[in-house]
Amino acid sequence: MLSPSLAFLIFFFLLPTIVFFIYSFLVSQYYRVEWQLTWDNYYRTFTTPVYLKAMLNSLRIGLTAGVATTLMSYPFAYFLTFRLKRGRNLVLFLVVISLVGSYLVRVYAWRTILGKTGAINSFLLMIGVIKEPLLFLLFSRLAVLLTLVHVFLPFAILPIMSSLQTISWDLVEAARDLGCNPLQAFLKVTLPLSITGVLSGFGYTFILSAADYITPQLVGGTSSAMIGLSITNQFVKVGNMGLGSSLSFVLLAVLVVAYMAIRFLARLAKLTPRQ
């Protein structure tokens, strides 16, 4: 029963990933690869300052966006799970819409809102708060972060919510009966029991943000150049697919290592429950 889908994923997911990986060891130019092995792509990946800077930028922006999104999502998911009685389905409906729908539209929305003649500036000019449009809003690192957090919030809210849902409130009450204050009960019971959701929510938003190639193009400035765009350009503008591939896999390795490090830190902080 698995075979059709498994065959499909092996042929169109595993195999392409392998081919893509092999490309990183091949010589390529003008959109063609030659079957000639080389380390040059990796050499250039690690020695070109522009790529190193963009890689670091992606890591930094991804981490900031991931942490911000997770921190914002937790109280939201907590309220949605434990407090909200009426309207919970409506809110959930809104969150799921933003999960599956309108990625591009929402990035575009921020571009029009933050722009020189955009909604925020024209509104502030209209009501007379400012005399000149604020130019620092668009094409800045702030704009990139604002957009990334907005776009990927549901990817943290949903996993956190689904792990909060499994917590039996009796456990929290038991902790209180045993003398914990609300904060202690939260730190010793609720948080460790929902840490899986927190970590996977962070994982999604961190990886999605760090590898986003659209947001930095639309709302970012030169200082917020991210590696996703450099990779894209190797394929659509430069035609050096080998270099694009080596950049991609170095990015992937950086993301996986960073995520593992965060998980390790969570375990050190004794936040993850022992098996």
Partner 1 sequence: MAASRALGRHPIRIPWLGIYFGLVILYLFFPIAIIALFSFNSSPAISFPIRGFSLRWYREILVSPVFLSALKNSLIVAVVTTAICVFVGTLAALGLTRYNFRFKPLVQSIYVLPVTLPGLLLGLSLLSFFVFLGLKLSLGTVVIGHLVYTLPYFVLVATARLERFDRMLEEAAQDLGCTPWQTFWKVDFPIIAPSIIGAAVIVFALSFDEFLITFFVIGTQSTLPMLVWSMMRMSIDPRVNAISVVLMVASMVLIYVLSKLVDLREIEL
Report the residue number, 239 or 272, with the smaller CB distance to partner 1: 239
With contact defined as beta carbons under 8 Å apart, do 204 and 57 qualify? no
- Which residue do the tokens 């390795």 mark? 253
With contact defined as beta carbons under 8 Å apart, do 34 and 258 qualify? no
The distance of closest approach from Cβ of residue 124 to partner 1 in the complex, given in angstroms and rounded to an integer, is: 9
Report the residue number, 17 or 223, with the smaller CB distance to partner 1: 17
Report the residue number, 57 or 200, with the smaller CB distance to partner 1: 200
Burial code (b: 16+ CB inside 10 Å, e: under 16) for 185-207 equals beebbbebbbbbbbbbbbbbbbb
- Give a three-class secondary structure readout of the chain: CCHHHHHHHHHHHHHHHHHHHHHCCEEEECCEEEEEECCHHHHHHHHCHHHHHHHHHHHHHHHHHHHHHHHHHHHHHHHHHHHCCCCHHHHHHHHHHHHHCCHHHHHHHHHHHHCCCCHHHHHHHHHCCCCCCCCCCCCCHHHHHHHHHHHHHHHHHHHHHHHHHCCCHHHHHHHHHCCCCHHHHHHHHHHHHHHHHHHHHHHHHHHHHHCCCCHHHHHCCHHHCCHHHHHHHHHHHHCCHHHHHHHHHHHHHHHHHHHHHHHHHHHHCCCCCCC
Report the residue number, 47 or 89, with the smaller CB distance to partner 1: 89
